[in-house]
Structure 1
Amino acid sequence: MKKAEAEREIRQLCHTWRKETGRQDVDEGDLIFSEFWSWMKDYHYQCTEFKATAGAEEMAEIWFDQEFKQMWTR
């Protein structure tokens, strides 16, 4: 999977994960990337395998933080 494709998928999967795992009532600031990453590795492994200078997991965490307005944590 190419990085641009992965970004589109991962940004959508952030919201899918939140719904499928019953985290709709959890404040965006309290969502945990490592839980999302584990879920992706279990159910959407292909999205965890792309090339990025910073690494796939690091890029996915940035996109996760952007989607859930957690960039202040960086």
Structure 2
Amino acid sequence: MEPTPTPAGQPDDAPQAYVGLDAGQAERRARSRGWTTVRSLPPGSVITLEYLEGRMNFEVDGGLVVRCWTG
């Protein structure tokens, strides 16, 4: 099975690498790697599910990234 390709408007970056980082450090790293939109959310936030290329999402609890996903 072939790996899932990275969409053209999205940096080639592993979201799981951000888990455990300080929220500010994670945001700076994401922006430096080319993510155009970085969104930090508290646990249990209600959000829309539309996919936005180039967006990195962080679930932040106690100042640390506990979950990370793209779109």
TM exceeding 0.5: no
Q: If the length of structure 2 is used for normalisation, what is the TM-score?
A: 0.33
Q: If the length of structure 1 is used for normalisation, what is the TM-score?
A: 0.33
Bigger share in strand: 2
